[in-house]
Structure 1
Amino acid sequence: MSASPPPSPSQQHANAHAYASNGLEILQAASDAAQAIHNPQALQNAAAAASEALPPATEMPPATELPHHLMAGPGGVMRDPTINPKLTRLRRACDMCSMRKVKCDDSNIPCRPCRELGVDCTYERETKRRGPPNKHAEAAKAAKRARLDVGPGPGPPPPPPPPPAMSLSGLSASPSPQNAAKTLMNISSVSSDGILDAETIAPMPVLELLVDDFFTYVHPLAPFPHEPTFRQSFANRQDRSEPEFLGLLASMMAALVASFPRSAREYLKSQHGTRLFPKAIVLIEKCCDIALLTRGSKWVLKQPKTLDDAATSYFLGLASGYTHQWNASRHFMAETLTLVRELGFSRPKHPGDLPTFGNDPFSPDPLPFSHAKDQIGKRIFWCLLLGVRSFSQLGASYTDLVIAPSTPSLPYPSYPENVDDICVLANEIIHQAEGSVTLLTGFRFGIDIYTTMNGVVSLELAYGMSTLPWADQRLLLRDGLLAAKSIIDNLPPELQLGDHGDETNSLASLDESGLQYVPPAWPDTQPAHDLRNVIKAQPLRRRQLQYEIQKANIFVSQLATRSYFVELYFNLRDVQLNDEQHGNPVQGPSEEEKALEDADDKEILDLMSDERELIVQNLLTVLGSISQRNLEPNGGSLINKIRQVASTLLNDAPERKGPFAAKAEEALSQLIDVLMKLQRTGPAGESRAADPSHMTAEDEEEELRHWEDLRNYQLRFAANGGFAGDM
C-alpha cells in the first residue's frame, strides 16, 4: 500500500476550515455556554457574528480574514473573548466608539467612553464580513426579511426557545456550524429574556438620580437599608450578580415613585411617551414585578432569608398601600413581620435579653456580630410597628398584622442608636456628639409618639376596653393623651415649627428662589433650578430638607394620635352613659365614691373638650407651617392622617364642638375637599383605579392643580391669621 501524498494547499485549507468550524461552533459553545449565559449581550453578539460570518465550506476565507473579534486559543481553536473573559483579545468596538473612531474600553459594559458620555453602550450594528457578498447568505437574509414583513399567520404562537440545557444537548448532537450558530442564538435569547439587572428599570444615570431621591425623601421616615453599604453595592453593580440586591433596589424605586410620583413622571413622559408610561403607577408596577421576579418561584423555601428580604417586602407593601392595593399591602407587611421575627425579633439569646439582629451564622462575614445588621433590623421592626399603629388609628384592624405588647419573656428590641448611617460600621458604632440632631433623632421621636398607645393596645388585644371599669378607662386615655402632648415639648429646635435660626430661614428662601423638584431629565443635564443642585452641593441644605420632612411627619402623627385618644374617650363615654341609662347595676357606688367619680369625670371631660379645640387650631397651624415642598414627598401617608383628623372633627355631634371648632367648620370642609381630590388623583387615583393607563395630560395637570389648591389653602390660612378673618 503506497504512502499517501502530502496534502495539497487546498486540502490544508479545507482541513483548517473544518477544524476551526468545529472548534468555534461546537467545543467553545459546549464548554463556555454556562458562563456565557451571565453575559447575554456578549453572547448575542458572538452568536450573530457566528451565524452571519460563517459562509459555506467551499467559500471559507483565509484565516487572516476571519472576523477580528475571533481569535486563536490554545491548540489553534478559534475563540471569542466575549464568551470567555479569561482570554485577553478585545472584542469589536461598541456602536458609539465605532462611529467616533475611538478605542473602546471593553472591561465593563457600558464601556468607559460611553459611561463618560452618559449614553447607551450597544452592539447593534450589523457585522460585515470582508470580501464580496455571499449570494447564499444574502438570499437567506432576504427570505427572512420577507417572512418578518408578512408577520405570523393565524394559529397558535410559536413555541418558546428551549432552555439552556436543551440547547447544549442539541449542540452536542448536531456538529454542523449552521445548527451550532442557531443554538447559540437560542441561548442568547433565553439569557436576555431571563436575566434582569438595574437597567431593566431605567438607564443608570436616571437610577442614580432616583436613588439620591430615595435617600433624600424616603429614608428620613424609613431609615433602611444602610446607606453606605447600599451605595457601595450599587456602584459595584451587584444588581448583575445578586438578584436579592436587584429586588431591593426595585422595591425602593417602587416606594419612591409611589410616595412621590413627580420624582419620575417627567422622565417617563420624555423617554417613553404617554402611550407606554402614561402614569407613575405603570413604573411602580414594573418595579414590583421586577422585585418579585428576582425572588423566583421557590423564594418561600429560600434559606436563609435576610434583612434585605425584609426591607424589600416592606417597600413593596408601602408601594401597594400608596396605590390603594390594600390586600397586597397587608400581605407584604405581614410578610415583613414574619421575616423580622424569623431573623431575631422573637429569639432573645438569654432570659432578660432584648432581641438583636446582628447574629448571622450564614453570613460570609467573619465577624460574629454585625452592628450594621443589628441597627437595620431594629429600624425595620420599629418602622413596621409605627405603620401598624397608624393603621389602627385609621380604623383598620388586620389579624395578620398583630404585634403583641412587649413582655418580659418576649420584649421589643431596643430603640435604634441615635447616630447617622455613616457612623454605623459592621464592627462598631461611632457615637456622635451629645445633642447632635441626626437623621434618627426625628425617627425616634416618631416611635415615642406611637408608643403612647401601648396601654390601650395591650388592653384591646388582651381583653378589650369594656372589661375595664369606666374610671380606669378614662384615666388610661388621659395619661396617653398627656404623654403624646409632652413629646413635642422635647423636640430640638431643628424639628420645631417656626423659625429657629438662619438655616431654617435660608431653607425657607428656597420657595422664593424658584428652585423646584425637577425629575430626571436624562439624557439632558439637570436644569439650574433643580433643587438637587442645591442639596448636592450643600449637604447641610439636604439635611435641613430632611428635617423638614420629618417635622411634617412628627406633627401630623402627633395630631392623629391626640385625636385618637380624644375620640376614643368620647365614644367610650357615650357607651357608659347609655349603659347607665338602660343598665341595671347590681350594686352602685356609695354617695361619697360617686361624688369623687363625678369630679374626676368632669375634670377629664373638660380636658378632652379643651383638647378638641386645640386639635382644630393645631391642625390648621401645622398646615400653615409646612410647605408643599415638604408635604408632597410621602404625601399619601400624611394626607390620610390629616383627612382622618379633619373628618373626625367636622363630623362630630354638634354638642361636642366648642366655639372654635364650630367656627372652623367651613375651613375644615374646604380642607377635606382638597384632600379628597388629591386622593382621587394620587398614584392610583380612585377615579381611574380600574384602568390607570387612561390618565391623560389633562388629568396630570388636574393633580398638580389640587396640590396648588392645598398650597393656596395654606397661604390663605397664614395671611388671615388662622382664618380668623372668616370666623
Structure 2
Amino acid sequence: MSSSVVTPEESPQDSTPRTKKACDLCRNRKVKCRVLESQVDCEGCRELGLSCTRDKPRRRRGPLNRHALAQLHSASSNDQVCTPAPSLSPLPAPPTPVTVRETTSDKSKAPGRSVNSTLELLGPLPLIQRVLSDWFKFVHPLAPVLHRQHLLHRMHTHGEDVDPVFAALVLSVCSVTVSTLRRKSFEQYPAITVEKCIGIIEDENLLRPQPYTLDWCITWYNIASALLVDHGPEDFRVYRGIKEAMTSVTYLLCFKGGDGHSEQDKEMLKRLYWFLFMWQVGAELRGQPHLTFLPFNQDLEHLRPKPILDRDLYPSSTPKNYAPNWPEDEIPFIPGLNSLIDIFLIWEKGKVDIATKPPEEVLTRAMERIQTALDGLRPELRWRGGLTRFPRGAWGHEVQMVNILITALSIKSNFLQHLGSLLPGITHQDIVSDVLEILNHLPQPVFETNGCAAVHKIRDIGSAYLAELRIGSGVVVGDNQAQEKVYQLLNKLDSLDFRPYAESVEVCAADQ
C-alpha cells in the first residue's frame, strides 16, 4: 500500500555532483561523497563540522600484474615469507581507547583534529543535543523511559567519557529519534542515521558484557525499536536487541526485585517492562515467532507505573542553564501509558476466554472491555471528533490519544479476524470508518510522531477489510461506499508512510 521511496542519496532533486575520489569519512560511512564546485569540503563533513581529508591509502583493485606476482613468488621461495590469511572472525577488532576529553581551549577547527568524545563520532555535540531535544519534545510522551534534566546533567558532566553504556544510551536515543521523526530528521539533520548510530555502538564495543543496569535495558530496547523500523522484524539484530532488553528487565525487576536501584530507576524499569509486554503482544498479532517474556495470567498491578510527573520523579533536580524547565515537565503522561496497557491486556484476557467460552461471548466481552477502557480515559485523551477542543489538549496528549485509539481499533480488528463478525454493528467496515474519522480530523504530524507502528496497524485493518470484500481470485465486491472507503484509506496511508532512509520499498512492519 506504500508508494516507492527514493533514498536521500538517490533523490532526483539532488543535483550535487558526486566526486570520483570519496573523502576518508564518507568511505568509512559508506555513503556517497558530494562536493560543490565552489567548495573544498564535501557536504557530509561540512554538516558534521569535521575536516574533509583524503589521506587514507587506497588499495589497488583487481588481480596483481605479472611483475608483482613474480616478486611475491620470489620472496615466498627465498625468504620463506607468506601473506597472512584473512581473519575469519565476524567480530570487529578491539576498539582503540577513546582519548581523554580536551579542554575547550585545546579544541580547534584545524584539519585533522582528533575526536574528543565517543559521541562526537556521530556529530558535533550541539547537533546531538538538538536531536535529544526533539526526542523529549515529540517522542517522550509515547515512551517516557528517560528523565530530561537527569540525562542532560549526565551529559554536562561528560558521563559518556567514563561510562560506555551511557554513551551507547545517548546514541540509541538518537537512532530512535531519526527512525520516528523521519520527515523532520531528513530535513534538519540528515547526516545522523540509524545505521551510523548503531555502527558506532558496535565499532566502539560500548555494550561489552557487564552487570545489567537501567541504561543497558533502555539502550537495547531503543536499538531494537530503531532497527525494526528500518529493517523489519526479520533482521536478527532486532531479535537480539529485544531479547537482551527482555532478559535484563526481567532479571532486574522480577528476579532481583529492583535491589540496588533507586526508586526512580524502579519506576523507569516498570515502564520499560510494559513496553516490552506491548512489543510481545504486537509480535503475536503480526504472526511472528512468540517472544517468551513473562506469562500475563497473574496479578501484575504491583508493576503498574505510578502516575508521577517528570518534575516529581527526581525532586532533587533543579533547573540549570543547560537543562531549564519545560512545560512538558508538568504534563501527566503516565495515565495515558496505563490506559494503553489496559488496551493491550484486553487481548491477553480474550485469549483466556477463547479457551473456555463460546466465540460470540468472547467477542461480546472483548468489545465491552475495549469500550469501558475508552470511556475511562482522562478528558484530555478522549476523542471528540471534529469538534474544537477547549482547552485544546497538549501535543503529547494528542499523540497519546492517537496511539490509544488506533491500538484499540487494531485489537478490535484482530478479534474479528479470529472469531468472525458475530455481533451486529461491529464489522471491519465500521472499524475502517472510525480510522478514517481519526485520520481526517487530526494533523498529519501527530500521526508521523506515532511512527511506523501506527501505519502498520492501519494497514492491517485495511487488509482485513479487503479480505472481507474479496471473493474468488481477488475480485472486490461491495457497494460503492465500501470501495470508496478502501481508496480513502490507501490515500491516507500513502501520505503517512514516508521512509526517506529506507533502502528498499519493502513494506515496513513495526509495532511497539
* TM bracket (short chain): 0.5 to 0.7
Change in 2 beyond 3 A, CA 1:164/1:413: same
Aligned-pair CA distance for 1:322: 0.6
CA distance in 1, matches of 2:288, 2:48: 49
Q: Which amino acid aligns with 1:214?
A: W
After superposition, where does 1:685-700 map in structure 2 within 5 Å?
A: 686-687=504-505
Q: Which amino acid aligns with 1:338?
A: T
Which residue of 1 is the match for residue 108 of structure 2? none
From 311, 330, 347, give the equivalent of 1:453: 347
Which residue of 2 is the match for residue 556 of structure 1? 406
CA distance in 1, matches of 2:290, 2:175: 26
Q: Which amino acid aligns with 1:625?
A: H
Change in 2 beyond 3 A, CA 1:457/1:398: farther
Choose between structure 1 and 2 for higher RCO, CA contacts under 8 A separated by at least 6 residues: 2
CA deviation string 1:226-255 (max 9, x = no partner) = 333212112222122211111000011001
CA distance in 1, matches of 2:479, 2:331: 36
Does residue 1:606 correspond to 2:423, yes or no? yes
Aligned length: 396
**Does the 8 Å CA contact 2:381/2:401 hold for their aligned counterparts?**
yes
CA deviation string 1:173-206 (max 9, x = no partner) = xxxxxxxxxxxxxxxxxx958x852221121221
Change in 2 beyond 3 A, CA 1:551/1:616: same
From 290, 296, 311, give the equivalent of 2:218: 311
**Does the 8 Å CA contact 1:497/1:625 hold for their aligned counterparts?**
no
CA distance in 1, matches of 2:358, 2:255: 32
Which residue of 1 is the match for residue 242 of structure 2? 333
Does residue 1:323 correspond to 2:140, yes or no? no
Which residue of 1 is the match for residue 320 of structure 2? none
Which residue of 1 is the match for residue 171 of structure 2? 250
Identity %: 22
CA distance in 2, matches of 1:485, 1:670: 26
Does residue 1:385 correspond to 2:201, yes or no? no
**Does the 8 Å CA contact 1:386/1:450 hold for their aligned counterparts?**
yes
Which residue of 2 is the match for residue 622 of structure 1? 438
CA distance in 1, matches of 2:120, 2:308: 33
Aligned-pair CA distance for 1:678: 5.5
**Does the 8 Å CA contact 1:503/1:544 hold for their aligned counterparts?**
no
CA distance in 2, matches of 1:246, 1:163: 15
Aligned-pair CA distance for 1:292: 3.0
Q: Which amino acid aligns with 1:397?
A: Q
Aligned-pair CA distance for 1:313: 0.5
Which residue of 2 is the match for residue 199 of structure 1? 120
Which residue of 2 is the match for residue 567 of structure 1? 417
Q: Which amino acid aligns with 1:547?
A: H
CA distance in 2, matches of 1:163, 1:305: 22
RMSD: 3.8
CA distance in 2, matches of 1:561, 1:385: 15
Does residue 1:416 correspond to 2:305, yes or no? yes
Which residue of 2 is the match for residue 222 of structure 1? 143
From 254, 262, 287, give the equivalent of 1:370: 262
Q: TM-score, normalised by structure 1?
A: 0.49
**Does the 8 Å CA contact 1:370/1:426 hold for their aligned counterparts?**
no
CA distance in 1, matches of 2:270, 2:431: 32
Aligned-pair CA distance for 1:445: 1.0
CA distance in 2, matches of 1:150, 1:383: 47
Aligned-pair CA distance for 1:478: 1.9
**Does the 8 Å CA contact 1:616/1:649 hold for their aligned counterparts?**
yes
Which stretches in structure 1 are left out of the alignment for 5+ residues?
A: 1-118, 125-147, 166-190, 270-276, 348-355, 361-368, 429-435, 460-464, 505-542, 572-604, 690-727
From 622, 636, 639, give the equivalent of 2:452: 636
After superposition, where does 1:76-115 map in structure 2 within 5 Å?
A: none
Which residue of 1 is the match for residue 487 of structure 2? 669
- Whichever structure has more helix as a proportion of its residues is 1
CA deviation string 1:123-152 (max 9, x = no partner) = x9xxxxxxxxxxxxxxxxxxxxxxx79988
CA distance in 2, matches of 1:639, 1:162: 40
From 477, 484, 489, give the equivalent of 2:375: 489
Which stretches in structure 2 are left out of the alignment for 5+ residues?
A: 1-46, 69-82, 87-92, 98-112, 318-329, 472-476, 508-512
SS at match of 2:165: helix
**Does the 8 Å CA contact 2:264/2:314 hold for their aligned counterparts?**
yes
Change in 2 beyond 3 A, CA 1:295/1:555: same
Which residue of 2 is the match for residue 284 of structure 1? 194
CA distance in 1, matches of 2:394, 2:303: 27
**Does the 8 Å CA contact 1:680/1:686 hold for their aligned counterparts?**
no
Q: Which amino acid aligns with 1:624?
A: N
CA distance in 2, matches of 1:163, 1:215: 31
Which residue of 2 is the match for residue 140 of structure 1? none
Q: Which amino acid aligns with 2:380?
A: E
CA distance in 2, matches of 1:149, 1:488: 60
Q: TM-score, normalised by structure 2?
A: 0.68
CA distance in 1, matches of 2:348, 2:447: 28
* Greater radius of gyration (CA): 1
Does residue 1:261 correspond to 2:261, yes or no? no
Aligned-pair CA distance for 1:391: 2.5
SS at match of 2:291: coil
SS at match of 2:314: coil
After superposition, where does 1:676-687 map in structure 2 within 5 Å?
A: 679=497, 681=499, 683-684=501-502, 686-687=504-505
Which residue of 2 is the match for residue 444 of structure 1? 338
Aligned-pair CA distance for 1:556: 0.8
Which residue of 2 is the match for residue 547 of structure 1? 397
Q: Which amino acid aligns with 2:394?
A: Q
Aligned-pair CA distance for 1:388: 1.7
**Does the 8 Å CA contact 2:413/2:461 hold for their aligned counterparts?**
yes
